[in-house]
Amino acid sequence: MRMYDLIYKKKYGVKLTKEEIDFIVQGYTCGNIPDYQMSAFLMAVCLKGMDMEETTDLTLSMRDSGETLDLSKIEGLTVDKHSTGGVGDKTSLCLGAMVAACGVPVAKMSGRGLGHTGGTIDKLESITGFSTSISSEKFFELVNKNKMAIMGQTADLAPADKKIYALRDVTATVDCIPLIASSIMSKKLASGADAIVLDVKTGSGAFMKTIEDAVALAEAMVKIGINAGKNTSAVITNMDQPLGFAVGNSLEVIEAIDVLKGKGPSDLIDDCMALGKLMLMSVNAASSDEEAENKLKKTIEDGSALKKFADFVEAQGGDPEFVYNTDKFEKAKFIDPVLSPADGYVSKIITDEIGMCSLILGGGRETKESEIDLSVGLIINKKYGDKVEKGEPLAYIYSNDKEKTAAATERFIKAYSFSDNKPDPVKTVFALVSAEGTRYF
């Protein structure tokens, strides 16, 4: 078997066998196939595509390129949740506690963020003492004890994806659904959960800008999961504005805690409920939407989700008092308003530009070596459809550097558009994708 022949076949849209795909993935991972040939293959996939069987074979080959996590030591069925990413997306922090408080084990592997804010681990490390540097044995022990634990993602999990993604990033082959779907699902399948729930974002702050593209990606990932024997489902959610009001690491943790205290923003709560219901039903912890929703709401009303989060923080070395008293979080030196340049209604927000404001302030990483300032970020004061008067605060910028404040303020204002008439309301959740098909709301 030669790589040249396989590139040639895919250039003309010929379907590849499982053995041929394994040859490509494993050969590139171990260094037998050079970058220039893999680049040619990835471009051929972008131009000619892959069918569902090929995409599944690619995913499983990437999954099997390294270690897979065996969760059999955890009592009960486990569920994992993944988001394709967005601005202000802190749902994992809320959902983990809510679902665990319903008695469902949440065993999550997370990484650090590269972009406008940190990843889940970075955010949690704004709590003094918190650590995800735990052994697999300790991880299993904590999940069995508390129904919730998060550990750092090992470098040996789907190493083929890491190497292929780095090449895609510099060869203009990122925006291809078979390659995106296999990248995400190879890591999810290697993580070992019994069920997988996906939050696929769409809009100006998401990778998939249109609902149609988001649905196509979700359908591909759900089919991969089902083909791999996992109960897999997805929701398509709105990222045409930041999720919630907080953007920035510690600010997002505080807002997640507010949700657990029953006072979080409505769009964030709606997102959590849509995902949480799927998580419970996917492992038979609820038999209907209504039952699942009632269980999740009860964890907020009776305080069990908040206590679960505090217990989780304490079990991993963090100070649980941060959960009950968010004044303990480190504060930024400066809090400055971003004043509206016009009267009217907020008619459009270029959401990824809001994320860039957080990056400018130091809340994210431009490279893997970048240091994150966990205290900086933004609190949004006016969102889509809100009425605003000239000079009224659109947001508040939390910063430790006045020059960065000025740069973020200028960029923030350019991200907002206004109209004289109130725009039509928008949904938080657009569609559900499952084994039964796609249902739009």
DSSP SS3 for 418: strand
Residue 369 has pLDDT above 70, yes or no: no
Catalytic residue among 22, 57, 80, 161: 161
- Cα first-last separation, the chain: 48
187 catalytic per annotation: yes
Q: Quick one: tokens of 387? A: 């009425």
Does the active-site annotation cover 263? no
In this prediction, residue 109 carries a pLDDT of 80
Q: Dihedral angle at the C-alpha atoms of 215, 349, 418, 342, nearest 10 degrees?
A: 170
Same domain, 315 and 359: no
> Is 82 marked active-site?
yes
The answer to whether residue 74 is domain-embedded is no
183 among known catalytic residues: yes
- Answer yes or no: is pLDDT of 118 > 90: no
> What pTM did the predictor assign?
0.92
Cα(44)–Cα(401) distance, integer angstroms: 46
- 84 lies in the same domain as 210: yes
For 58-80, the pLDDT digits (tens) are 999 999 999 888 899 999 999 99
State the pLDDT confidence band at 155, using cuts at 50, 70 and 90.
low
Supply the pLDDT for residue 120. 86
Band of pLDDT at residue 10, cut at 50, 70 and 90: very high
**Whether 351 and 312 share a structural domain:** no
Tell me what the mean pLDDT of segment 326-332 comes to: 96
User: Whole domain around residue 275: which residue ranges?
Assistant: 79-325+429-440
- Same domain assignment for residues 319 and 338: no
Residue 380 has pLDDT above 80, yes or no: yes
Q: Please check whether residues 289 and 230 belong to one and the same domain.
A: yes
Taking the C-alpha atoms of residue 111 and residue 265, their distance in angstroms, rounded to an integer, is: 26
Q: Examine residue 58 and state whether it is found in any structural domain, yes or no.
A: no
Whole-number pLDDT of residue 100: 96
pLDDT of residue 157: 83
Q: Could you say which of 81, 168, 277, 295 is catalytic?
A: 168
192/280 same-domain check: yes
pLDDT of residue 69: 87
Mean pLDDT taken over the chain = 94
What whole-number percentage of the chain has pLDDT above 70? Answer: 97
**Is 194 marked active-site?**
no
Confidence of residue 368 (pLDDT cuts 50, 70, 90): low
Asked if the model's pLDDT at residue 299 lies above 70, the reply is yes
pLDDT given for residue 144 in this prediction:
95
pLDDT at 346 over 60: yes
- Looking at residue 87, what DSSP letter applies? T
Q: How confident is the model at residue 175 (pLDDT cuts 50, 70, 90)?
A: confident
Per-residue model confidence as pLDDT tens digits over 244-267: 999 999 999 999 999 999 999 999
Do 133 and 248 belong to one domain?
yes
Count helices and strands in the chain by DSSP H and E runs: 17, 14
Confidence of residue 115 (pLDDT cuts 50, 70, 90): low
User: Catalytic pick from 187, 201, 223, 365?
Assistant: 187
SS3 28: helix
Instruction: Report, as an integer, the average pLDDT of 210-223.
Output: 97
> How many domains is the chain built from?
3
**Residues 236 and 189 both lie in one domain:** yes
CA 113/CA 93 separation, integer angstroms:
15
Query: CATH number for the domain including 29?
Result: 1.20.970.10
**8 Å CB contact between 232 and 196:** yes
Q: Which of 82, 162, 188, 223 is catalytic?
A: 82
At 108, the pLDDT band (50, 70, 90 cuts) reads confident
Residue 136, pLDDT score:
86
Catalytic hit among 183, 233, 250, 340 = 183
For residues 160 and 309, membership in a common domain is answered with: yes
Residue 131 has pLDDT above 90, yes or no: yes
163 with 270, same domain: the answer is yes
